[in-house]
Amino acid sequence: MSRRDRKPLAKSRPQADRAKGPAKGFAKGASPFRGKKQGERPVGKPPRFTEPRREKPSYVAAEPEKTKAEPPLPTKVQTVVVTADENNMRVDRFLEARFPGLSFSHIQRIVRKGELRVNGKRADSKDRLEEGQSVRIPPLRLDAPKGAGALSEAATKTLQALKEMTLYEDADVLVLNKPAGLAVQGGSGITRNVDQMLEVMRDAKGQKPRLVHRLDRETSGCLLVAKTRFAATALTGSFRHRSARKIYWALVAGVPKPKQGRISTYLAKEESEEDSIMRVAKHGDEGASHAVTYYAVVETSAQKLAWVSLKPVTGRTHQLRAHMAHIDHAIVGDPKYFNKENWDLPGGLQNRLHLLARRLVIPHPRGGVIDVSAPLPPHMLQSWNLLGLEHDRFDPIENAPEE
């Protein structure tokens, strides 16, 4: 990996600057975003960005706060009401947000056994909740701690693999550079995943680090993990209230016009016997959720390919992949959404998903900001080199609005 590749994106604007409003080129309420119908892209020529890139620290510390008490897990049956912030949240993610100490396997177990009920009825972990619904929650527990002792050879290798993936770590937070091809959680046909690997990091109390968000199996880059229940609660809240900023890089077919814009649609899951995908839906369709993505072209290779930077405002399943396919610029190597006919992959490029969770900026649970960038994975670095793309260019998505 070249030294230039590890160079982070441009330094975030100071809080005082952000308070003044969106930056020039993505002005809120002004052209190119005014008066567009749902699902349409803006028109108009965006301004050029020439601001130089600057180095920045990965973590800007603030004055340490006193440790907040972690919410206890319920020891008896309780009924809670879904709040407005939790509207349209999946059942499993609702439980993770309310009780960060729970393991994924324990959540699946209580849902599968019917111990969790929504308005008195059994629920599936993928069902989405509505504001005002009553959720019956059974007694919960943390996974029992494993006995102290030396790690096995396999566990030692797993721990080393996690260390090699680590981009940032402190007592509360871990940011991993997840490689493409490694699943985040278990599922049908998956034998190795990040959630399972984190078992080797259980502390003396038996608590293991918890996933705060997810990436698709073939997407590489920044994956946030909470090492304590306190951190899990704070970080999950940051995602729920959209105070976390995520930036992705992708290689797409063709060159989007205009070169900077906003994609706004509704997305709904479409199930089939063999697979499921997210389709563009209409407002009011069953299971449809609003999804917003800002995009900006960073550099092009002739008119056949473009390196785009993406900022998702919402966090829907496959949102970036579905949105880029929707504007007819599907992500190269996407097995689900690449639908361009008579399009040949340029020689030397690997037919793998070219999508990187490039950068994550999120408030630290104890004050300050975590700002971490991931390098291009090997197959994308190879493509950048073959196409002559300069991976340390200024990223124009930096100035996109936060909503």
Catalytically active residues, by annotation: 216
Buried/exposed code over 87-112 (b: 16+ C-beta within 10 A; e: otherwise): eebbbbbbbbbbbbbbbbebbeebbe
CA 154, CA 159: separation in Å to the nearest integer?
9
Length of the chain: 403
Torsion of the alpha carbons at 331, 332, 335 and 337, rounded to the nearest 10 = 30
Q: Between the CA of residue 400 and those of 107, 119, 196, 312, what are the distances in Å?
A: 37, 41, 36, 10
CA 11, CA 391: separation in Å to the nearest integer?
16
Torsion of the alpha carbons at 361, 363, 366 and 368, rounded to the nearest 10 = 70
**Strand pairing category for 369-373 and 59-60:** antiparallel
CA 246, CA 224: separation in Å to the nearest integer?
11
Q: Give the torsion sign (CA, 130, 83, 363, 370).
A: negative
Q: Which DSSP helix (H) or strand (E) runs through 224?
A: strand 220-226
Which phi and psi angles does 235 have, rounded to 5°? -70, -40
Q: How many other CB atoms sit within 10 Å of the CB of residue 35?
A: 9
Name the nearest CA neighbour of 209 among 241, 243, 163. 163
Structure token digits, residue 128: 């989405």
Structure token digits, residue 193: 């995943």
Question: Cis before residue 258, ω within 30 degrees of 0?
Answer: yes
